[in-house]
Amino acid sequence: MRSMRRYIALLLGVAMAVACSEQTPAPKRVALETTEGRIVVELSDKTPLHRDNFVQLAEEGYFDSLLFHRVIENFMIQGGDPRTRTISGREFNAEGPETGDPRYWEEIDAEILFPTLYHRRGALAAAREGDVVNPQRRSSRTQFYIVWGRTFTDEQLDAQQARISRATQGKVTLPDSIREVYRTIGGTPHLDGQYTVFGHVVEGLEIVDKIQRTATDSLDRPIKDARIIKATVLK
């Protein structure tokens, strides 16, 4: 009788585990096939607006053939501007030409979840207009950046904290656990608490490194184009 009860309990445990696995789908991942190699990003379920928007754009082929049009070494690589679809980085001017794609002008509500999501190396985040014209810190629907950054000493992190405090009216403080990441792995802490981070690189961080090292002009446009060939939502 006791062995039967144990058998039933085991079956119930297996059934519950299966049910839980069916109710908790795997995080969404998107592969960016670029001229420099493959980058795979995992999208956070904690930022559903940004996750679903990024997936929709990828499924529609929106990112296909766009440039990483803004690249700053030891900082980040930025893409998602439809005006770069048919021009090179050297031809691209941030003030024009106008785009016929209405999504370029659209914004989505911020989902800033610091310290859960922050600007460590490999973070995927949404670009946006500055605070003066965008005090709600709403995100661009189409433009995103992937963090590279650098490592920091304690003294440098203190300076970064002062910068963050000024930008957030003292509302954002780097905890010791995140300071340790910035000391050892790297990132861009001065953006924390001000931009929506909605994912991270799970494959191809070396490709991000390669792109962020590329030579650029005075406007941070790569001399050699780094283009997204195709974005694919992984099943």
Residue-level pLDDT at 92: 67
Q: How far apart are CA 131 and CA 206, in angstroms?
A: 32
Helix ranges (H only) for 90-218 are 154-168, 176-184, 205-212
- Return d(Cα 96, Cα 49) in angstroms, integer: 28
What are the distances in angstroms from CA 11 to CA 6, 17, 19, 195?
9, 10, 12, 47
Q: Which residues, in sequence order, are bridge partners of residue 124? A: 146, 199
What pLDDT is attached to residue 81?
A: 92
Say yes or no to pLDDT of 6 above 60: no
141-160 average pLDDT score: 98
The dihedrals phi and psi of 159, each to the nearest 5 degrees, come to -65, -40
pLDDT at 3: 55
Neighbours of 24 (CB within 10 A): 9
> Which SS3 state, helix, strand or coil, does residue 222 take?
strand
Asked whether residue 21 carries a pLDDT value surpassing 90, the answer given is no
State the average pLDDT over residues 45-50.
98
- pLDDT, averaged across the chain: 90
Confidence of residue 88 (pLDDT cuts 50, 70, 90): confident
pLDDT at residue 1 is higher than 60:
no
**Helix%, strand%, coil% for the chain, nearest 5:** 30, 25, 45
User: Counting beta carbons within 10 angstroms of the beta carbon of residue 146, is it exposed (0 to 12), middle (13 to 18) or buried (19 or more)?
Assistant: buried
* Spatial separation of the C-alpha atoms in residues 185 and 218, rounded to whole Å: 28
pLDDT category at 18 given cuts 50, 70, 90 is very low
Distance from C-alpha of 113 to C-alpha of 59, rounded to nearest angstrom: 26
Render pLDDT for 128-144 as a digit per residue (tens, 0 to 9). Answer: 999 999 999 999 999 99
Cα 167 from chain centroid?
21
Mean pLDDT of 111-122: 98
Cα Rg, the chain, nearest whole Å: 21
Residue 16 has pLDDT above 80, yes or no: no
- Per-residue model confidence (pLDDT) at position 5: 58
Check residue 87 and give its pLDDT.
79
pLDDT in tens, 188-208: 999 999 999 999 999 999 999
Torsion of CA 150, 112, 144, 108, to 10 degrees: -170
CA–CA gap between residue 71 and residue 217 (Å, rounded) = 10
